[in-house]
């Protein structure tokens, strides 16, 4: 029988402890690896796209009426993939107004432009092309079309004096929570109702009303393209179903506007003018319109935007040929300022892109906020083509306002990512957007890291 020294128990105990320590160490390493992997995943996610719910609570304004389900369904009949309806009604109305003006003028030539403003105010009320056209064929020479996008009531410079705005809000899925959308109406100040701008030119028609479009199929406002194009197609279908214009079906030639970083709009306009269109619907971007408006109006062709909001276009020398169903940013600035103050903010920071839309809306919003008792504590005008927005967002963080407004286009998703990284995103601050970025496409771009 072998007798063991009492020390063997000590060695055995040490061995067990060593095994246990190794096991615990292994668990700690696994935990560390898991944490490292998780950290890598988080970093990767931040670099490639925003997290779900990061935009939750962000609010903003866009010209919008409460579209009927029937109208939405008919738009989806033109494009089954529609997820946003921004400016669809405005595009539809632009084409209907031109068609009614041509019916009254009995021509698709330049003289139809003389009827456009009057079609929207002070006459026999009607709310569809068919109803209005029935009045015209019945002998009425003065109709008042109240459209899908509202009462319109054009001033003499061809823009609405009354408008409806949707106050949109992002939900936990980084998409617009339709059930939380509020609607507000706005009326331009009396001085905005200016006298009629005389129509200059002698372009004759050929008896067939033909529309062309310069709408954003690509570029920084591409998310607006699908609803606008669907609105144009639906208007053409409804006009033709009611007998067309001057006894003939209206025609439609679609074209891309791109954005201000490209020359696509000019190329499209050249093609459309070569096709002898009578009216061009677009652009969506005010900046893009300012690059082509002279070419269009000098040709004696009507330009009718469903989405331009820059007040720079209110008194532009357009020969009486430029019109828009979207209201001036004087109204959007007024509404957004009221929303921000009503939400309880008293100090505001503004990040805005450097173009006529961004700087103009900044001016109008600042005026509205100050008149409502709030103070703009920081304003940063940025280059939308910049690769980073760290400095601009850093300035907002330093100013520490109650609310931050982002006035931009597609680049807004990258700005919001930077805001979240610096701790001033929608989860920490009241953040607001505008018609250039408030849509489901912003959520998609944000999550994709674009």
Reported as a single tens digit per residue, the pLDDT across 147-166 is 999 889 999 999 998 888 99
Number of domains in the chain: 2
Residues 271 and 389 in one domain: no
237: which 2 tokens? 């279908």
- pLDDT value at residue 50: 66
pLDDT at 220: 84
Residue 176 inside a domain? The answer is no
Residue 183 maps to a domain: no
- pLDDT-wise least confident of 26-35, 206-215, 399-408: 26-35
Q: Phi first, then psi: give them for residue 147, nearest 5 degrees.
A: -95, -170
Contact 333, 368 (CB under 8 A): yes
Distances (CA, A) of 439 to 169, 171, 176, 281, 340: 9, 12, 6, 22, 19
Residue 280 sits in the same domain as residue 380: no
- Residue 289 sits in a domain whose CATH number is 3.40.50
Note whether 268 and 341 are same-domain residues: no
Average pLDDT over residues 366-385: 95
- Which comes out higher in pLDDT, residue 2 or 278? 278
CA 45 to each of CA 50, 78, 394, 446: distance values in angstroms, whole numbers, following the listed order: 7, 36, 22, 11
- Give the integer Cα–Cα distance in Å for 289 and 294: 9
pLDDT for 86: 87
Residues 256 and 280 in one domain: yes
406 lies in the same domain as 390: yes
Indicate which CATH number applies to the domain containing 357.
3.40.50.2300
Of 327, 352, 371, the one marking the end of a domain is 327
Residues 323 and 385 in one domain: no
Does residue 166 form part of some domain?
no
Residues 304, 403 within the same domain: no
End residue of a domain, out of 312, 327, 342? 327
Q: Are residues 308 and 354 in the same domain?
A: no
Residue carrying structure tokens 């084409």:
95
Please give the pLDDT value at position 30. 34
134 & 278 share domain = yes
Q: Is the per-residue pLDDT at 36 higher than 90?
A: no
Q: Where are the beta strands (DSSP E) in 170-301?
A: 182-187, 210-214, 251-253, 279-282
| 202 and 273 co-located in one domain | yes
| Single residue among 327, 353, 376 that ends a domain in this structure | 327
Residue 438 lies in a domain: yes
Where in the sequence is the domain holding 312, given as residue range(s)?
Answer: 84-158+197-327
Q: 450: exposed, middle or buried (C-beta count within 10 Å: 0-12, 13-18, 19+)?
A: middle
Residue 288 lies in a domain: yes
| 301-313: average pLDDT | 94
Give the pLDDT of residue 250. Answer: 98
* Residue 1 counted as domain residue: no
Q: Is there a contact between 388 and 415 (Cβ–Cβ < 8 Å)?
A: no
Judgement on whether residues 318 and 353 belong to the same structural domain of the protein: no
pLDDT exceeds 90 at position 8: no
**pLDDT above 90: percentage of residues in the chain:** 76
In this structure, the answer to whether residues 251 and 110 fall within a common structural domain is yes
pLDDT recorded at residue 45: 36
Mean pLDDT of 238-260: 97
Residue with the two structure tokens 């056209």: 133
Residue 171 included in any domain: no
Both structure tokens of 300: 């004696």
Structure tokens at 27: 């668990």
Is residue 19 one of the residues assigned to a domain?
A: no
């Amino acid at each position: 029988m072998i007798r063991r020294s009492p020390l063997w128990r000590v060695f055995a105990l040490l061995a067990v402890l060593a095994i246990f320590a190794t096991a615990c160490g292994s668990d700690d390493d696994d935990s560390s690896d898991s944490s490292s992997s998780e950290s890598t995943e988080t970093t990767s996610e931040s670099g490639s796209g925003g997290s779900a719910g990061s935009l939750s609570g962000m609010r903003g304004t866009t010209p919008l009426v409460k579209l009927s389900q029937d109208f939405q369904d008919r738009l989806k009949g033109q494009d089954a993939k529609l997820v946003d309806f921004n400016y669809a009604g405005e595009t539809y109305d632009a084409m209907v107004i031109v068609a009614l003006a041509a019916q009254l003028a009995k021509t698709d030539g330049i003289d139809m432009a003389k009827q456009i403003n009057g079609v929207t105010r002070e006459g026999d009320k009607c709310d569809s092309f068919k109803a209005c056209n029935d009045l015209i064929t019945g002998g009425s020479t003065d109709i008042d079309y109240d459209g899908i996008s509202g009462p319109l009531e054009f001033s003499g410079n061809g823009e609405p004096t009354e408008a409806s705005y949707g106050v949109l809000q992002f939900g936990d899925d980084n998409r617009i929570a339709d059930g939380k959308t509020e609607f507000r109406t706005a009326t331009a100040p009396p001085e905005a109702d200016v006298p009629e701008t005389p129509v200059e030119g002698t372009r004759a028609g050929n008896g067939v009303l033909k529309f062309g479009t310069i709408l954003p199929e690509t570029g920084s406002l591409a998310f607006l393209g699908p609803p606008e194009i669907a609105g144009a197609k639906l208007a053409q279908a409804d006009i033709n179903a009611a007998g067309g214009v001057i006894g003939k079906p209206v025609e439609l030639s679609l074209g891309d506007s791109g954005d201000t970083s490209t020359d696509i709009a000019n190329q499209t306009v050249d093609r459309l003018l070569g096709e002898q269109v009578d009216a061009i619907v677009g652009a969506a971007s005010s900046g893009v319109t300012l690059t082509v408006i002279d070419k269009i109006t000098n040709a004696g062709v009507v330009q009718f935007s469903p989405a331009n909001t820059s007040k720079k276009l209110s008194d532009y020398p357009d020969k009486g040929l430029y019109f828009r169903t979207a209201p001036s940013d004087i109204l959007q600035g007024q509404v957004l300022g009221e929303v921000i103050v009503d939400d309880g903010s008293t100090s505001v920071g503004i990040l805005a892109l450097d173009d006529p839309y961004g700087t103009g809306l900044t001016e109008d919003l600042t005026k509205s906020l100050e008149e409502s008792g709030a103070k703009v504590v920081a304003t940063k005008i940025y280059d939308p083509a910049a690769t980073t927005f760290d400095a601009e967002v850093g300035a907002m963080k330093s100013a520490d306002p109650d609310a931050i407004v982002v006035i931009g286009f597609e680049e807004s998703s990258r700005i919001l990512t930077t805001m979240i990284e610096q701790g001033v995103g929608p989860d920490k601050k009241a953040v607001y957007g505008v018609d250039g970025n408030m849509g489901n496409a912003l959520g998609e771009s944000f999550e994709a890291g674009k």
